[in-house]
Amino acid sequence: MSNSRYYVRPFDYLTDRLDFHYSSPYFDEIKMFREKANVVPFKKFVLPHGIDYGLTASGKDDGKIRFINTENILADGTIDDTGIMFVDECPLRLLLEENDVLITRSRKTGFCGVVTQKFENATYGSYLIRFRIATNLLDPFFLAEFFNSKLGKLQTDLLKTGSSGENINSEQLSDVRLPNLDIDVQKEILKRIRPIKNKIVEIQSEEQKAINERDVEFRNFLGVRNFQVKELGYYSAPLSLDRLDFVYSNPKYHVLEEIVRESRFTFVEIGAHVKFHYETINPTKEPEKEYEYIDIGNIDTKLGRTFPTKMLGKEMTSSRMRRLVRKGHVLISTTRPTRKAIAIVPEELDNQICSTGFAAAECDEKLLNDFLFYFLRTDIAKLQFERLCSGSGYPAINQEKDLPKFNIPLPLIEEQKQIVEKMRKIDLKIEELSEMVTRKEKEKEELFISLISQKS
């Protein structure tokens, strides 16, 4: 018997692991796949001494060696260099080679990316594990496709451990079972799914154009020309009296002053027209009550929508699971805010809980929450967040000291409504394209799994 939270299994079924997660009926189908005669463990294809955990270091904006982190590993098996960080040195064994495979072990588990020539001699962070494989037996792109498919994802979900801080180690990843297919068959399967992958890339390109259009439209509304941030490798500058740190004083941020001067609207500190709410509750005091919980990972950064997690009060043991939210609050991620994890609390999430890593902002009568929401997701705002952050491996903006000083434009309400309407129209276009991508990805996965079944 089972529902979303409770189930009963025969005692003799509990053989491998005596934990609630591993025994869930949700995993019965993938366990049957793992027991098939024609599947083999991933470790069969890993070269001797071919496994290494990443570098325990904090990336920075510039340096000698590119530094790949979990956010650079995409669900399609590619490695994205957008916002890539750098380090100055690393052990030779941690320099990447073409056809190496990187798999995420924490934060988001089981995402797999293939190292191409573009990323040779880069290195990678400690939340990633590098596998060097026998490419004459296993095509690395087939491996990535498999790991990122339902057959791979269900296995990494099954084998991982932890709850609020999920993790999967090299031994568990090595036990993921793969179809035992000849290398030529693997390549044939990749060839069959390639037209769909190409179509996905085409749609995603259109989607990115629409996202860029949103930023350009807002910049034009402000009357600001296309600005460029000039990176300086080395500089000496007097420290600001506001912030005695090197990053804040970087001359590249002078462009923000130019933007403010050029804008046809006055910029004001956000604290003048926003009230920040810090009300908290302890959900563990009502252990059987169900809550909708919003963490930073529950925000769609493309459209700023919330996808909360249903949790019982007794499950919400982390001290971060405490901030009470109200309908209309603008949630601003204060940890890694440049990711644009910003959303407006919808009516159905009134009186629910979010992470204390969010600032919950309530606008006054001179500021529309939708206008604030859209501005905070522009590249102008991103640059401000970048400047005001402190920390390196996990940069954050101080909610009480620095965030209230964040500068925002303040048009008249009617003008705010005009740009909000334009932003919503562009968002509809982005949403349509995103749904097309989702349908195509489902089509690709269904074909991929069907071909594996046929060839096995």
CA dihedral of 153, 157, 159, 164, whole degrees rounded to 10 = 140
Q: Which residue has the higher pLDDT, 430 or 395?
A: 430
What's the pTM value of the predicted model, to 2 decimals? 0.82
Burial profile 120-157: b = 16 or more Cβ within 10 angstroms, e = fewer? eebbbbebbbbbbbeeeebbbbbbbbbbbbebbbbbbb
As to burial, measured by CB atoms within 10 angstroms (0-12 exposed, 13-18 middle, 19+ buried), residue 101 is buried
Least confident interval from 30-34, 210-214, 323-327: 30-34
- The span from the CA of 203 to the CA of 228, in Å, is 27
List beta partners, residue 324.
353
Average pLDDT of the segment spanning 377-381: 95
User: What is residue 249's predicted lDDT score, i.e. its pLDDT?
Assistant: 77
User: What is residue 59's predicted lDDT score, i.e. its pLDDT?
Assistant: 82
User: What is residue 444's predicted lDDT score, i.e. its pLDDT?
Assistant: 97
From residue 194, how far is each of 135, 145, 199, 391, 443 by CA, in Å?
20, 11, 9, 41, 12
User: What is residue 238's predicted lDDT score, i.e. its pLDDT?
Assistant: 55
450 Cβ contact partners less than 8 Å away, ≥ 6 residues apart: none
Predicted confidence band of residue 354 (pLDDT cuts 50, 70, 90): very high
As to burial, measured by CB atoms within 10 angstroms (0-12 exposed, 13-18 middle, 19+ buried), residue 184 is exposed
**Collapsed DSSP state (helix, strand, coil) of residue 259:** helix
pLDDT at residue 19 is higher than 70: no
pLDDT at residue 222 is higher than 90: yes
Q: Which residue do the tokens 């979303």 mark?
A: 4
- At 442, phi and psi to the nearest 5? -65, -40
Q: Give the CA diameter of the chain.
A: 73
User: What is residue 199's predicted lDDT score, i.e. its pLDDT?
Assistant: 97
Average pLDDT of the segment spanning 263-270: 96
User: What is residue 393's predicted lDDT score, i.e. its pLDDT?
Assistant: 54
Average pLDDT of the segment spanning 286-304: 92
pLDDT at residue 305 is higher than 80: yes
Average pLDDT of the segment spanning 177-200: 97
In the DSSP assignment, the letter for residue 130 is: E
User: What is residue 1's predicted lDDT score, i.e. its pLDDT?
Assistant: 32
Average predicted confidence (pLDDT) for the chain: 90
Average pLDDT of the segment spanning 60-64: 82
Pair 54, 126: CB distance under 8 Å = yes
Residue spans of beta strands (DSSP E) within 228-357: 267-269, 274-277, 290-294, 299-300, 305-306, 309-312, 321-324, 330-333, 342-344, 353-355
- Which helix H or strand E contains 198, and what residues bound it? helix 183-222
Assign residue 340 a region (left: φ > 0; alpha: ψ between -120 and 50; beta: otherwise): left
- The CA-CA-CA angle for residues 86, 94, 119, to 5°, reads 55
Query: pLDDT exceeding 70 applies to what percent of the chain?
Result: 89
- The span from the CA of 234 to the CA of 97, in Å, is 30
pLDDT at residue 6 is higher than 60: no
User: What is residue 2's predicted lDDT score, i.e. its pLDDT?
Assistant: 39
Predicted confidence band of residue 3 (pLDDT cuts 50, 70, 90): very low
User: What is residue 265's predicted lDDT score, i.e. its pLDDT?
Assistant: 97
User: What is residue 336's predicted lDDT score, i.e. its pLDDT?
Assistant: 84
- Calculate the CA 272 to chain-centre distance: 31
- The span from the CA of 425 to the CA of 217, in Å, is 11
Max mean pLDDT among 27-41, 306-320, 405-419 falls in 405-419
User: What is residue 229's predicted lDDT score, i.e. its pLDDT?
Assistant: 80
User: What is residue 18's predicted lDDT score, i.e. its pLDDT?
Assistant: 53
Exposure of 7 in the CB half-sphere (CA atoms within 13 A): 20
**Collapsed DSSP state (helix, strand, coil) of residue 25:** helix
pLDDT at residue 410 is higher than 80: yes
Q: How many CB atoms lie within 10 A of CB 177?
A: 21
Average pLDDT of the segment spanning 63-68: 94
Q: What is the pLDDT of residues 139-182, one digit of tens each?
A: 999 999 999 999 999 999 999 886 555 799 999 999 999 999 99
Pair 146, 131: CB distance under 8 Å = no
pLDDT at residue 231 is higher than 90: no
Average pLDDT of the segment spanning 219-239: 75
pLDDT at residue 5 is higher than 60: no
